Amino acid sequence: METKNYHMTPEQFRIEGKKVIDWIADYYENIEKYPVLSQVKPGEIQASLPLSAPQTGEPFARMMQDIDSKILPGITHWQSPNFYAYFPSNTSFPSILGDLISSGLGVQGMIWATSPVATELETRVLDWLADMMGMPEKFKSTSTGGGVIQDTASTSALTAVIAARERATGFRSNEKGIEKKLTAYISTQTHSSIEKAIKIAGIGRDNLRLIDVDEKFSMRPEQLKKQIQEDKAAGFTPFFICAAIGTTSSNAIDPIAKIGEIAQNENCWLHIDAAMSGTAMLCPEYRHYIKGVELADSYCFNPHKWMFTNFDCDVFWVADREELINSFSILPEYLRNQATESGQVFDYRDWHVQLGRRFRSLKLWFVIRHYGVEGLQFHIRKHIALAQKFTAWVNHSDDFEIFAEPPFNLVCFRHKTGDDFNMQLMNMVNETGKAYFTHTKLNGQVVLRMSIGQTHTEEKHVKATWDLIKKMAKKL
């Protein structure tokens, strides 16, 4: 006799699952019909939801109706080809399918033994990627280093800061607390996640030095050197430097080779944050920007930003995995197993903060295999070419100006009239729902940002958005 249960049967799953795939395909086909920026007011979505959970289960069809009526209005359509805000967070059908299979398998890959393939596929795919991006051998698992998928670049930053802290204190501060006065170095343009990591890792915000930048918003190495000398003279131990390949605000690139030399001489851990723009290294013509990367201790970039891979997926490479493992390893009795004890396997829970981990390499593997290196290069080059086109249009206009020449796919520009005008213009364009872009402040001035990197963005979209911006500027 069958025991009672409330589960969805495989047959129901098959039927509803196919409808969900159709729904997603329809969504992409119709995405341009929705306002890019969600138009709801704060609290509006909550007001449409019941105050308490249903006592009895509901039919799946009713949930799908609510997806259309309650969920979609609250979506800001990141996958729209007219999404140019913040940074790309693009995805692709192979990635969605890889993620679905990962959900279907539902494995927990915390250690090798809990699903060997979740570890071994990740190791191999990140070695592939290291080769695809021209990374030095030392970052590969076949050498002293290796890669691990973190949820975000923020977690990579925290992981790097902790490993750096441990190395600087002889791997003692995990046990004894921090006995040295450690100082860390970033530029005034570095992403806030590094400051957050410094706070969380117990270094203290007061011990983080913000180094001045040049006219291209890149860190000034001579200022870095000077600050380190001053700190040493004052009894501090400099231990960590972060350099960026593509800052969030303006896509600035720090001089890696010069900073790397200082890091080596001063015995500091060098972390490279290439979260936003690192994907460009798939194309050999941009690799001059990472000249000196062999001097880095760790490096991260986000396939979940600009490599057609669903959030979350940040790639974190280290040059010496032992330093990382010595900082994060902990082995309670209930996780002891033969494979770990044999020393022949990686247990990725020793490579980051959390224990549990999803099978994220599957979606990355699908993306790389679907596009091939050639396909990925093609689309990255296309985005950069679109950014160059947009730059040319701005340069040819009498009313707008380029603020900083874009190295990759982020165009920083402004209307010549002034800050208030630019803010009003941006809000007006965004309120039309036809495009969505955001602003920053550089040298105290409001600057508009067009981040061109969504999967389905074509020249016609960028051109229509430029025309819309000009039209709105005339109306203001």
Binding site for ligand PLP (CB under 6 A): 87, 152-154, 191, 193, 244, 247-248, 273, 275-276, 302, 314
The smaller minimum CB distance to ligand PLP, of residues 238 and 246, is found at 246
Q: Which residue has the tokens 């033969």?
A: 338
Q: How many CB atoms lie within 10 A of CB 144?
A: 15
Contact 130, 232 (CB under 8 A): no
The smaller minimum CB distance to ligand PLP, of residues 87 and 346, is found at 87
The smaller minimum CB distance to ligand PLP, of residues 196 and 225, is found at 196
Q: How many CB atoms lie within 10 A of CB 70?
A: 13
Q: CB of residue 116 vs ligand PLP: minimum separation in angstroms?
A: 27
Q: CB of residue 350 vs ligand PLP: minimum separation in angstroms?
A: 21
Sign of CA dihedral 424, 425, 429, 435: negative
| DSSP code per residue over 414-425 | EETT-HHHHHHH
Question: How far is residue 187 from each of residues 192, 339, 459, measured CA to CA in Å?
Answer: 11, 43, 34
Q: CB of residue 286 vs ligand PLP: minimum separation in angstroms?
A: 16
Q: CB of residue 304 vs ligand PLP: minimum separation in angstroms?
A: 7
Backbone φ, ψ for residue 329 (5° rounding): -70, 135
Output the CA torsion 66→68→73→76 (10° steps).
120
134: helix, strand or coil = coil
Q: Using alpha carbons only, what angle is made at residue 390 by residues 387 and 391, rounded to the nearest 5 degrees?
A: 85
The smaller minimum CB distance to ligand PLP, of residues 127 and 314, is found at 314
Q: CB of residue 58 vs ligand PLP: minimum separation in angstroms?
A: 34
Q: CB of residue 38 vs ligand PLP: minimum separation in angstroms?
A: 20
Q: Using alpha carbons only, what angle is made at residue 408 by residues 219 and 89, rounded to the nearest 5 degrees?
A: 100
Q: CB of residue 246 vs ligand PLP: minimum separation in angstroms?
A: 6
The smaller minimum CB distance to ligand PLP, of residues 245 and 425, is found at 245
The smaller minimum CB distance to ligand PLP, of residues 16 and 195, is found at 195
Question: How far is residue 380 from each of residues 88, 289, 307, 400, 447, measured CA to CA in Å?
Answer: 12, 16, 8, 26, 24
- Taking Cα atoms as reference points, which of 321, 267, 266, 265 lies closest to residue 298? 321
| DSSP code per residue over 74-128 | G---TTSTTB-SSS-----HHHHHHHHHHHHHT---SSGGG-HHHHHHHHHHHHH
Q: CB of residue 323 vs ligand PLP: minimum separation in angstroms?
A: 22
Q: CB of residue 203 vs ligand PLP: minimum separation in angstroms?
A: 18
- Taking Cα atoms as reference points, which of 441, 140, 474 lies closest to residue 319? 140
The DSSP output letter for 291 is T
Query: For strand 269-273 and strand 208-211, is the pairing parallel, antiparallel, or unpaired?
Result: unpaired
- Taking Cα atoms as reference points, which of 460, 443, 26 lies closest to residue 250? 443
Q: Which residue has the tokens 């800061």?
A: 161
The smaller minimum CB distance to ligand PLP, of residues 358 and 415, is found at 358
Q: CB of residue 279 vs ligand PLP: minimum separation in angstroms?
A: 12
The smaller minimum CB distance to ligand PLP, of residues 111 and 245, is found at 245
- Taking Cα atoms as reference points, which of 208, 214, 271 lies closest to residue 245? 271
The smaller minimum CB distance to ligand PLP, of residues 34 and 306, is found at 306
C-alpha 20, offset from chain centre: 27
C-alpha 365, offset from chain centre: 17
The smaller minimum CB distance to ligand PLP, of residues 273 and 323, is found at 273
Q: CB of residue 194 vs ligand PLP: minimum separation in angstroms?
A: 8
C-alpha 23, offset from chain centre: 27
The smaller minimum CB distance to ligand PLP, of residues 135 and 194, is found at 194
The smaller minimum CB distance to ligand PLP, of residues 213 and 473, is found at 213
Q: CB of residue 408 vs ligand PLP: minimum separation in angstroms?
A: 12
